[in-house]
Structure 1
Amino acid sequence: MAILLGIETTTTNCSVALSKDDVILAFKEDMGLDYSHAERLHLYIAEVLQEANIPKSEIDAVAVSKGPGSYTGLRIGVSAAKGLCYALNVPLIATNTLKALAIQANQSGDEFKYIIPVLDARRMEVYSAVFNPVFDEIRSIEAQIVEESSFLNYLDSGKVLFIGNGAAKLKDLIKHPNARFNDKALPSAREMMPLALAKYKISDTEDVAYFEPFYLKDFFVTSKKK
């Protein structure tokens, strides 16, 4: 039996789940458009533990979505996860953000040749990866500028689902008949938990002291316009 706490803060969605083996015991998230992680994350952690009637001391591992995504969101989520791991002396598990997002394609009821999770980055850029219907990674994570011809090799071979807030950029560009879009989906702790459990079972954990989120691109600050 494994009790796992999952933290997802890579986008505006502040999401926390508590699971016992493959069963979600409690789940909280804020799907709003504003970043609320600093205010809500620790509150949500306390609430899922209370709802499940599980004390912190019974947590076997803490899982965190490793990115890519919002620099600030990633820092908040990873800092909280590390703090819990140090305090409870439990392992840290890092899960693939885009794979967890791709898993939400199961909720559509459709069959796709490829599932392409896309997270919004700056300007016309997205973070993306490509998965097959059983969520094997066909193409690794990239930061790319999207245009009309993006992903054409996948679209020409079958129906493709673009899922994530980055799909909004693709809707106006890609008119291929095989393209489908879900731009409302955001990475969630709910889909993290099966990935975290699989890693826990084989002791695929991180060094708490040295683990860093997967930013993919360097963080920079722009000056405010006068």
Structure 2
Amino acid sequence: MPTLILSLETSSPICSVALHRDGSLVGQSELRLEKSHSSHLSVLVNQLLENSQVTLQELAAVAVSDGPGSYTGLRIGAAAAKGLCFALDIPLIAVGTLPAMAAQVAACTAGAADVLFCPMLDARRMEVYSALYRPDGREVLAPAPLLLDSATLAEQLAHHRLLFFGSGAAKFQPLVADQLNAGFLPGVEPSAVAVGMLAQAAFERQDFRDVAYYEPFYLKEVYTTTPKARS
């Protein structure tokens, strides 16, 4: 029986959904509208399943982008994924945003054997969420908040070719303009297709999350403030 996995990616301003059958892409849909996740995610899911002639009851699992990324976006994606998994009694798979982006780029990069892949998500000012991966997906540096300056990742750049991409990479590029080992790939965004690429292997490993208690990987604590009482 084929394994159908629905993937949701809401960690960025792009609202993205994808459907894979046994690891092969069946269909995808995305919407590039700011703050559209809460009102459009379920619509995209229903349209994708209808166009793919697949029912919810045929799904084997739901995969969701685990973060880091937009706090609100991640919460919306997690809530939707948990709701579907609970209602359908199917497993929940969480796929890290950064390893998914790295896998997406590695899959279409020629001569990638000696390259390290460095996704960077903008975290405001001169900070990014970043990590470092080998072409086979092995983690070299774990996901972490990274302050950017001319010395950032200097040791790695001295010994390896690094390919930078994602929403935070552009502000790092001027800082390492003299580094021959630094390459930059524009236009790479988090995608549900990439989430689905990694979700199949997680499904086969039975690497599932607890539907009741799952929370996204925000990476940094979210601070909220209480409005001051009016006098």
> Which secondary structure state, in structure 2, belongs to the residue aligned with residue 115 of structure 1?
strand
Which shows bigger deviation, 68-77 or 183-192? 183-192
**TM-score normalised by L of structure 2:** 0.91
SS for the counterpart of 1:147 is: coil
Partners in 1 of 2:225 and 2:147 — Cα distance? 20
SS of the equivalent of 1:167 reads coil
* Corresponding residue SS for 2:82: helix
2:83 equivalent to 1:83 = yes
Query: How big is the shift at 1:16?
Result: 0.2
C-alpha separation between the residues in 1 aligned to 2:30 and 2:169? Answer: 21
Q: Which runs of 4+ in 1 moved over 6 A?
A: none
Q: How does 1:102-113 map to 2 (within 5 A)?
A: 102-105=102-105, 106-109=107-110, 111=112, 112-113=114-115
Aligned-residue identity in percent: 41
Q: Which range moves more in the overlay, 77-86 or 103-112?
A: 103-112
Describe how 1:59-98 pairs up with structure 2 within 5 A: 59-98=59-98
- Within 5 Å, which residues of 2 pair with 1:1-226? 1-31=2-32, 34-105=34-105, 106-109=107-110, 111=112, 112-175=114-177, 176-221=179-224
Cα separation, partners in 2 of 1:183 and 1:166, compared to 1, 3 Å: farther
Deviation at 1:209, TM superposition (A): 0.4
TM-score by length of 1: 0.93
Change (3 A) 1:167 1:223: farther
C-alpha separation in 2, matches of 1:95 and 1:103: 11
For 1:193 and 1:59, how far apart are their aligned partners in 2?
Answer: 13
Quick one: structure 1 residues 222 and 124, their matched pair in 2 at CA, closer, same or farther if it must change by over 3 Å?
Answer: farther
Q: What is the distance in 1 between the residues matched to 2:176 and 2:226? A: 33
Q: Name the CA distance, whole Å, in 1 between partners of 2:111 and 2:150.
A: 24
Task: Report how many residues are paired.
Answer: 223
SS in 1 for 2:81: helix
- 2-side partners of 1:108 and 1:41: how far apart? 30
Asked if 2 retains the 8 angstrom alpha-carbon contact of 1:162 and 1:179, the reply is yes
Contact residue 113 and residue 157 of structure 1 kept, 8 A: no
TM superposition shift of 1:177: 1.4
Once residues 46 and 110 of structure 1 are traced to their aligned partners in structure 2, the CA distance between those partners, rounded to angstroms, is 39
What residue ranges of structure 2 are gaps of 5+ in the alignment? none
Displacement of 1:110 in angstroms is 5.0
Deviation at 1:191, TM superposition (A): 1.1
Q: Output the CA distance in 1 between the equivalents of 2:128 and 2:226.
A: 22
User: Could you tell me whether the CA contact under 8 Å between 2:12 and 2:190 is conserved in 1?
Assistant: yes
Are the aligned partners of 2:103 and 2:135 in contact in 1 as well (CA < 8 Å)? no
C-alpha displacement of 1:169 = 1.4
Secondary structure of residue in 1 paired with 2:175: coil
